[in-house]
């Protein structure tokens, strides 16, 4: 006798891709539901003290524990743990995952500089945040980076990619999640979304998707995602304070090619890109080593 309730039977008839996307967006919504209101209240009423940061950190702890299977309802505990895909890793896998991620991040940041010299990326700190005291601004940006790492990896690479990958394979899963990831970022606080900027977002999604597939865990991608966001936002903040900040991302090829630094960054992209591919292959071997 089928003991499933009517809602469960209806839900199980929904195509797996649709279920995975809806589940991922539910996780994304719950994980980020307090970020906007708390940050707005903090910035609006008491910008000198980043009191929202410890509150958001506490919420992230409860959010993570719940997805790990704690608390009610107990009937969904196993499903939450499987969906999160936060599987523990060996020390060797961690070492190669962080090596791969570090090489990739250096290459991606250098590619940002290269592309930014050719076409505007429109990456700026919003005026509302830029006018904050430096300590509050840095605290808020770092906290938002951590939240993005936790919530987005849980939502997109855990609850969304995992089920699609099991049913339709890794290529289809990464393709679907990367497109959805890009669409989800269309509402970012950037003043406008350029094709180049969207390209980097999709590239990041592919990178994190491959990472979770190779390691069978969102944990390395979570740390790399948070670290990449933190480094990137602080870098953008520093550039925005410089006297030539408006020129960095808006120079054409003629001017860029005459600058030796442009070609240095091109070389960095090439060298670190090749090294990252090699490290990814080594990571796959280590992660699949059953010995």
What confidence tens digit (pLDDT) does each residue in 204-250 have? 999 999 999 999 999 999 999 999 999 988 877 776 665 544 444 44
Q: Residue 225 in contact with residue 144, Cβ under 8 Å?
A: no
Interval 54-79 mean pLDDT: 96
Phi-psi region of 85 (alpha: psi -120 to 50; beta: other; left: phi over 0): left
Look at 68-77, 253-262, 269-278 and tell me which has the smallest mean pLDDT: 253-262
pLDDT band at 103 (very low <50, low <70, confident <90, very high): very high
Residue 28 has pLDDT above 70, yes or no: yes
Q: At what angle do helices 260-287 and 195-215 cross, to 10 degrees?
A: 30
11 — pLDDT class (breaks 50, 70, 90): confident
Q: What is the pLDDT of residue 8?
A: 78
Q: How confident is the model at residue 266 (pLDDT cuts 50, 70, 90)?
A: very high
Nearest C-alpha neighbor of 249 from the set 206, 202, 191: 191
Q: How far apart are CA 189 and CA 141, in angstroms?
A: 13
Positive or negative: CA dihedral 226, 172, 194, 203: positive
Beta-carbon contacts of 36 under 8 Å, excluding residues fewer than 6 positions away, are none
How much is the average pLDDT of 246-256? Answer: 60
The structure's pTM equals: 0.91
Percent of the chain past pLDDT 70, that is, above it, reads: 90
Mean pLDDT of 125-152: 88
What mean pLDDT comes out for the span 131-146? 91
pLDDT score for 132: 86
Average pLDDT, the chain: 89
């Amino acid at each position: 006798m089928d003991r499933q309730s009517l809602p469960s039977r209806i839900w199980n008839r929904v195509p797996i891709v649709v279920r995975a996307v809806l589940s991922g967006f539910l996780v994304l919504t719950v994980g980020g539901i307090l970020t906007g209101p708390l940050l707005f209240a903090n910035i609006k009423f008491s910008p000198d003290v980043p009191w929202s940061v410890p509150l958001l950190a506490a919420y992230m702890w409860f959010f993570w524990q719940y997805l790990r299977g704690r608390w009610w309802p107990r009937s969904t505990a196993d499903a939450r743990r499987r969906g999160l895909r936060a599987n523990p890793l060996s020390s060797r896998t961690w070492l190669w995952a962080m090596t791969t991620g570090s090489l990739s991040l250096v290459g991606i940041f250098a590619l940002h500089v290269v592309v930014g010299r050719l076409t505007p990326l429109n990456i700026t700190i919003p005026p509302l945040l830029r006018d904050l005291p430096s300590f509050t601004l840095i605290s808020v940006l770092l906290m938002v980076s951590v939240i993005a790492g936790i919530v987005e990896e849980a939502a997109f690479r855990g609850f969304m990619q995992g089920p699609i990958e099991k049913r339709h394979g890794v290529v289809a899963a990464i393709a679907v999640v990367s497109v959805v990831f890009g669409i989800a970022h269309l509402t970012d606080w950037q003043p406008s979304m350029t094709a180049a900027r969207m390209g980097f977002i999709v590239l990041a999604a592919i990178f994190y998707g491959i990472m979770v597939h190779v390691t069978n865990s969102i944990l390395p991608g979570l740390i790399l995602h948070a670290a990449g966001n933190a480094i990137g936002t602080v870098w953008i903040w520093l550039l925005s304070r410089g006297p030539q900040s408006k020129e960095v991302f808006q120079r054409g090829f003629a001017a860029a090619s005459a600058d030796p630094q442009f070609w240095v960054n091109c070389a960095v992209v090439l060298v670190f890109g090749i090294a990252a591919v090699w490290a990814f292959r080594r990571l796959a071997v280590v992660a699949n080593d059953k010995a």
